[in-house]
Each structure stands twice: as structure tokens, then as C-alpha cells.
Amino acid sequence: MSDHDMLAGKVVVVTGAGRGVGRGIAIMCAEYGAKVVVNDLGGTEQGEGADQVPALEVVKTITDAGGEAIANFGNVAKSDDAGEMIETARREFGRIDCVVNNAGILRDVIFHKMSEEEFDAVISVHLKGSFNVARAAAPYLREQQSGSMVHMTSTSGLIGNFGQANYAAAKLGIAGLSRSIALDMSRFNVRSNCISPFAWSRLIGTIPQGTDAERERVAKIQQMTPEKIAPLAVYLLSDQAADITGNIFVVRNNEICLMSQPRPIRNLQTSDGWTPESVASRFGPAVKSSLVPLERSGDVFSWDPV
């Protein structure tokens, strides 16, 4: 293992850690001294089936390099499974310090054709799953008066994308969840932040590649390997980021961005009170130049990744 010790003595649970971004984070956490619970249900991109091999392979990678890790095959969408992840950490390694909520699935479909099941499945894994694991860890973090959580959000929710209403709702919900955890747990020295990763993964591999523009976009994304996300995650989990909580970051290849969060940008008041007519004649024209256009993630992050 590396002689880095930024996470020495810490026990970290990483969900969805069998492949992609989660795998990269789990391995780097171990390299920097953490003991890692590698959680992965082993399902498909759509969340179907279960394969224990990916999680076991990550554990072997860590232990072969001299680190400490154990596999867990629970489903984050089930609160009992989430509780068992935290109990596994405490049973095997004696404590729990950090949670990385990374597990996810995709069920992309244009909104007017999206089924209730397609919506619920994505919300259950991403948003409810992040709540379940964070909630299971919270009493122990409160008791020891320390801890850090990192949750994966997405510019699909923060900005927007086509055909991802379920995913976007879950990912923007995670940003709100993380902010609330940060506020509620700050008195116990427990921190919570979000990372929005740009990285090639199995989920991104479902992007259509029917046109030259789409193929060119995917080729650029393929340069952004999942391992590029891990350094920021390790930093945010560590005590060196002790004063950072409630924030949202984007990692895009070799770029790290601190994202803005909603704040008032225009304000009009009237001593007479508003009517629909005065809203139309005064407020509408006044804010027109400040309205957020209907952009997608690729429109805002329009430059090639560095």
C-alpha cells in the first residue's frame, strides 16, 4: 500500500464499489489508510440480478496491496441491508467513520413515456438508498462526535438532461439530503458533501451513440476515467477537509469545480401587493433577463475536459 495516511484509522463504507467510480474510491481510500467495506449488489445497469464477483475482486485488489477490506452484497434500497453494511464495518473493523453513497442504476426514458416503476426504481436506489446508509451510520457518528459523508449527485439533476426525470429528481434530491445532513449533524462534527462526477462508467455507457455528435461526446467522456473522482472523495472524507460541509463539487477529468447553490438573484416588491396583472406587467419583464435558460449539462459544461 501507499505510505499516505490521510485516512489512517478510518473505516469507510463505499456503496456500488464493485465497478466504476465506487471501485476507484474504495481502492484509493484503502491506499490512504482506510479500512473499507466494499458494498456492491452486483446488478446490471438497470439494477437487475446480483453478482458477487465485482465486490470480491475489489477486495482482492485492496488486500493484495496490503490493505484491509471486506465485501458486502446488500441492497442500499433496503433499510435492513443498509443497517447491515454499517454493522459489518463495526463488527469487522470496530467502528464506522465515513460513508460514500455511490450506488446507482439508470432507467432512462422520455418523460411522457416514463412508468411509475421506472421512476420508483431509480428513486429507491439513489435517493432512498443514500438516506438508508447515511441514516444507519448517523447514530454512531453522533456518538463519537466525528464523521464524514460523500454522496454522488449529477449535473443531470443540478442542470438538466433529456430522458432522465427519475435520475435527475433523485440526484437533485441527494443534494438537498446532503445539505440537510450537514446542517443537522454539524453540532456533532459530522460533515456531508456531494460530488457530481463526470466519468466513463457502465451507466454512462448507456448514452445513445447514433449520431456523429453523440459519438464524439461519448469519446470525450471516455477520457474521464472513474479513478479521477477518487482524490476529491478521499480529501473530503479526511480530517484535512474538516471545515468543508454542505457543498457540491464537480469533477471532470482533471478539473474540480465548486458549484453554486440556489440563492435569490432578482427581487421586486410592491407596497400595494401583487395582482396577476401587475405580476405580468412588472415582475415578468423585470426578471426576464435573469431567467435560467433551458440548458442541459453539456450546454453548461461546453468545453472539452482538461
pLDDT at 200: 64
Q: For residues 289 and 245, give the distance between their C-alpha atoms in angstroms, rounded to a whole number.
A: 32
Give me the count of residues in the chain.
Answer: 306
Residue 246 near residue 182, CB atoms below 8 Å: yes
Three-class secondary structure of residue 139 per DSSP: helix
* Of 88, 124, 106, nearest in space to 14 by CA: 88
Residue 181 near residue 175, CB atoms below 8 Å: no
CA distances from 129 to 94, 109, 193, 247, 275 (A): 23, 21, 16, 20, 43
Active-site annotation holds for 32: no
pLDDT at 213: 75
Catalytic residue among 32, 140, 167, 235: 167
pLDDT at 207: 63
pLDDT at 23: 97
pLDDT at 1: 45
* pLDDT digits (tens), the chain, 306 positions: 445 899 999 999 999 999 999 999 999 999 999 999 999 998 766 667 778 999 999 999 999 999 999 999 999 999 999 999 999 999 999 999 999 999 999 999 999 999 999 999 999 999 999 999 999 999 999 999 999 999 999 999 999 999 999 999 999 999 999 999 999 999 999 999 999 998 765 555 556 667 877 777 677 777 788 899 999 999 999 999 999 999 999 999 899 999 999 999 999 999 999 999 999 999 999 999 999 999 999 899 888 887
Q: Which domains does the chain have, with CATH numbers?
A: 11-261 (3.40.50.720)
